Structure 1
Amino acid sequence: MDGLGGALERAAADGDVVDGWLQGLAGNPALPVEALARLLEFDELPMPGSWLRYRTLDAAATELLVASPQLQHRLDVAENPTADIDVLARLARDPEPRVRFVYAVMLFEHKRRVPPGVLEILAEDPEPKIRRIAGGTGEPPVVVREPAPAPVLTAEQRVTHPDRAVRLEAAADPEVPTALALRLAADPENDVRLAVSMREELTEAQRTVIPCTVWQQFWSPPSWIARRATDPDAARRIARSAHVGLRRVLAAQPHLAPDVVALLAADEDEWVRRTLAERCEDAPHELLVELYATVQDRYWSGFRHHRNFARPGLARFADDPNPRLRHAALDDPEAGPELVLRLADDPEVGGRAVADPRLPAEELLRRLTLPARAAAAASNPALPVAVMHRLLDLARER
């Protein structure tokens, strides 16, 4: 480290390099709690103020933040979904009401496990809004008059009702006879006609004559498709339906038979394929890679996080002209240091390659001195702890 030490000292004269070190260390998943504590001592850090909400925290790091005298640290750890649940329980007695409130909201709205005794503490909190969240005694309830019961409508009254919401509900209700529901095939509202067209009992011929626009996604998809999706024969029939809406809803199911997945992955409709890739855990690797490489909106990178994306063979894209595919090459679990080193100087994917723990150690350390790669190198989990502390020493001396 002697030769490296001199290079780091010279690099520390560049403020951009030092800022890169601090940014990288803040995102380094292997940063030990002692180094995290030192990082938090800086008065100003070149990261967004919410960075602690998003980094992975083990029990020791959670304890550090829960005990921090800085209010923002305690607020951030209360919102961090990776923080240790049992250590977080101490926030139920935090002296600052804002911390207790955020902790209570995250605990109940995000359905976290409730450690023993926490519910009782929060239910007796001095703040009424915290007591209400925990189900304790809050403000006196406002007495409201019970509304008069709505009149019961017949099926005929529902399908002819002037209120669009009533007709929409009737259109999808299996209790409404098919003959009555089909009257709504000529309804002036597209959503009503669409709901009729997706009724379970309709034939393909009946569906195709109903004029309607099928939206890309559904807020309230027909529930019968989820029930039928577990029956391979029924799922195959839906996957072959001419009604694109049925196929899109089927593609959103978490698990499907392999041949049904294959049918949907080859569907001519882009949103059937996208929904399958985004929502179905059985989406095929080839489809995920295709969409990752070609989708043009801001959701393109999400396909890489599907469980079927990374697999041996992706290294074949290391020289592909598409930078997304060169990026994907780094997800090949069998690729070695040579591939990572080859991509480390790539202008478009080099940052991720430098952050890859497979990068040879000497190359990783060398890149700590380069302004364009200092942050990526400092975020590499293979960075020796001694080097992490040296970077903090130099940043403190700046």
Structure 2
Amino acid sequence: MVAFHASALDGVARNAALTIPLLLRLLASDGGRDRRPPRGGVQRAGLSESAVRVILAHPDPGVRIDFATSARAEPAQRARLVDDPSFKVRAALAYGPEVYDPRTKVAPLPDVVCVRLLDDPAPSVRTALLDSPHLTASFVASMATHHSSAARREAVCEWEILPPGERSALLADPDPGVRRAAALRECRRDARVTAELIRDPKSAAEALRRGLLVRADAERCVAERTHLAALAENPSLPADLVERLAVAPDEIVRLAVSLRPELDEARRMAIDFTVGDFDRGDGVQWVREGLTDPEVLRRAAISAHPLLRRAAARSPRLPSDLLCLLARVEDPVVENRLGIHHPDTPEEVLMRVYARLGGTFSAWMAETHPRFPREGLAARYADHPDGNYRRLAVRDPAATPALIERLSHDPAVWTRQAAVGDPRLPLHRLREALHVPELASSAGANPALPEDEMAAVLNRAGVPA
């Protein structure tokens, strides 16, 4: 019964229909290990000011951490934890929400709050802030003059928007790590800086990959066979040396040459390269940096090179004609990336991805993708031999309460859970599911669960009235 109580309580906590009085009752629990308010209650959207105040003052730091990492809370609400007495809470605030859906955008904390976190007395808070993926470009650039070398090194990431004076200061920084990071940005337009970096084993490969080269250095590296795969990507590599590397004995080098942006299709596809079935093309720098550039996307998407098509499929801004083109490629990696990243992926592609991947990923895509089909799923899949497909029948707006109840007894647990969480489930079965351990959480989260039943779950879990 303890597992049932915890599971049902988790479901009720994330129930979209949970009333404010019941939510406050959850939050007002004493913070003991067995009564910690479930994360769903703290991380729900649209919390009232009274609920936020209770969270901010909650005696359990874990509750405050859950709120600090909520992707649904307003940044100004989370920012009120900047003076929390627990450094773990402040570190959670500094890093921000963990986001697994690439379509989810997290509003950053105000820069003024980040400034305070950057100077927090706890090292873990400062580190968490610098590791955060949610910082604004303006704040990152502002760290160029900070007293912390780690902060100055991070500021280099916004090299192009830094004033010339700050770039010069970073290139002469007293910290060698900052100087190296700055030089690796500056070398893209300064051959002298590139030449210096090539002599440093810690930076040679990256400098050869991105830096502005003089011919003598490029020829020497080719002759010495030094970092050839990195050199093959260099935009300033002379054309005759590109041709030499295109027939190099190392297939990794040939593959790197085949991905160069200036090659026409005939020359590109004449190179003897091999692409793995699961290679995604994330390392194609010119495409990765141009995922919002229509011309870059077009050049990559219309190419016959599998890695260029796969790299382009990662963009959520593909024009409709390129999306249709890539949807017909019949490349599983392209289809998977379209399904994850593009909101207008055709239904037939989404269904192929669903069939191929199955499991948790397919469930996530079916629940979150705006184009995933709904109509007609009950007729097509309610009696499918695979429970992963029977679960889809629950998504159909035309599915009847009788069918939903039938699927709540399905042999596949995921199908049962999907059915139990559907508001069309008859109330008698919903009440019954609250007492089934593997269904209790889904039943507790069902928005059709009456308020008195939610209160009863809190009672059984020992949450004080």
TM-score class, shorter: 0.7 to 0.9
Q: CA deviation at 1:184?
A: 0.8
Cross-structure match for 1:158: 218
> 3-state DSSP class of the match of 1:366?
helix
**Aligned partner of 1:230: which letter?**
P
Cross-structure match for 1:89: 79
Q: CA deviation at 1:131?
A: 6.9
Does the Cα contact within 8 Å between 2:292 and 2:317 map onto a contact in 1? no
Q: Percent identity over the alignment?
A: 32
In the alignment, is residue 114 of structure 1 matched against residue 145 of structure 2? no
* Structure 1 residues 287-331: Cα deviation after superposition (integer angstroms, max 9, x where no partner): 111221232686444432322114322223222222222212222
Change (3 A) 1:64 1:381: farther
Among residues 344, 354, 378, which one is paired with 1:315 in the alignment?
378
In the alignment, is residue 56 of structure 1 matched against residue 40 of structure 2? no
Q: CA deviation at 1:283?
A: 1.5
* Structure 1 residues 221-277: Cα deviation after superposition (integer angstroms, max 9, x where no partner): 242584797359x83x75554322222223222233444333322323322222222
Change (3 A) 1:32 1:249: same
CA distance in 2, matches of 1:207, 1:171: 13
CA distance in 1, matches of 2:254, 2:417: 51
* Structure 1 residues 116-174: Cα deviation after superposition (integer angstroms, max 9, x where no partner): 86356546655577578596976699943667944274246326516878544442344
Cross-structure match for 1:364: 430
Q: CA deviation at 1:97?
A: 3.0
Does the Cα contact within 8 Å between 1:239 and 1:264 map onto a contact in 2? yes
Cross-structure match for 1:208: 269
In the alignment, is residue 178 of structure 1 matched against residue 275 of structure 2? no
In the alignment, is residue 346 of structure 1 matched against residue 407 of structure 2? no
> 3-state DSSP class of the match of 2:308?
helix
Q: CA deviation at 1:354?
A: 0.7
Does the Cα contact within 8 Å between 1:22 and 1:45 map onto a contact in 2? no
* Structure 1 residues 341-376: Cα deviation after superposition (integer angstroms, max 9, x where no partner): 332221210111111122233432233344453332
Cross-structure match for 1:281: 343
Cross-structure match for 1:100: 90
- Give the alignment of 1:1-398 within 5 angstroms: 14-39=1-26, 41=29, 43-45=32-34, 51=39, 55-60=43-48, 61-106=51-96, 112-115=107-110, 118-119=113-114, 121-122=116-117, 125-127=120-122, 143-144=174-175, 149-151=193-195, 153-155=213-215, 157-158=217-218, 161=221, 167-215=228-276, 216-223=279-286, 226=290, 230=294, 235=298, 239=301, 241-295=303-357, 299-304=361-366, 305-316=368-379, 317-348=381-412, 349-396=415-462
Once structures 1 and 2 are overlaid, which stretch shifts more, 93-102 or 35-44?
35-44
> 3-state DSSP class of the match of 2:255?
helix
> 3-state DSSP class of the match of 1:95?
coil
Does the Cα contact within 8 Å between 1:52 and 1:77 map onto a contact in 2? no
Once structures 1 and 2 are overlaid, which stretch shifts more, 160-169 or 30-39?
160-169
* Structure 1 residues 368-395: Cα deviation after superposition (integer angstroms, max 9, x where no partner): 3444533321121221222111221233
**Aligned partner of 2:452: which letter?**
A
CA distance in 2, matches of 1:130, 1:44: 25
Change (3 A) 1:33 1:116: farther
Cross-structure match for 2:188: none
Does the Cα contact within 8 Å between 1:282 and 1:308 map onto a contact in 2? yes
**Aligned partner of 1:264: which letter?**
L
Cross-structure match for 2:153: none
Change (3 A) 1:241 1:144: closer
CA distance in 2, matches of 1:80, 1:355: 23
* Structure 1 residues 2-58: Cα deviation after superposition (integer angstroms, max 9, x where no partner): xxxxxxxxxxxx4454343223223323333433444452744499x9845984243
Does the Cα contact within 8 Å between 1:187 and 1:193 map onto a contact in 2? yes
Does the Cα contact within 8 Å between 2:14 and 2:40 map onto a contact in 1? no
**Aligned partner of 1:379: which letter?**
A
**Runs of 5+ consecutive residues of structure 1 not aligned to the other structure:** 1-13
Higher relative contact order (CA 8 A, sep 6+): 1
Does the Cα contact within 8 Å between 2:42 and 2:67 map onto a contact in 1? no
> 3-state DSSP class of the match of 1:218?
coil
TM-score (norm 2): 0.68
C-alpha RMSD of matched pairs (Å): 3.9
CA distance in 1, matches of 2:330, 2:370: 24
Change (3 A) 1:370 1:120: closer
Change (3 A) 1:279 1:77: same
Does the Cα contact within 8 Å between 1:50 and 1:76 map onto a contact in 2? no
Does the Cα contact within 8 Å between 1:24 and 1:376 map onto a contact in 2? yes
* Structure 1 residues 88-135: Cα deviation after superposition (integer angstroms, max 9, x where no partner): 22211222333223323339x997443486356546655577578596
**Runs of 5+ consecutive residues of structure 2 not aligned to the other structure:** 100-104, 130-138, 151-172, 181-191, 196-211
Once structures 1 and 2 are overlaid, which stretch shifts more, 208-217 or 139-148?
139-148
Q: CA deviation at 1:334?
A: 4.6
Change (3 A) 1:167 1:63: farther
TM-score (norm 1): 0.78
Q: CA deviation at 1:282?
A: 2.5
Does the Cα contact within 8 Å between 2:301 and 2:322 map onto a contact in 1? yes
**Aligned partner of 1:307: which letter?**
P
Change (3 A) 1:144 1:21: closer
**Aligned partner of 1:388: which letter?**
M
Aligned residues, how many?
Answer: 381
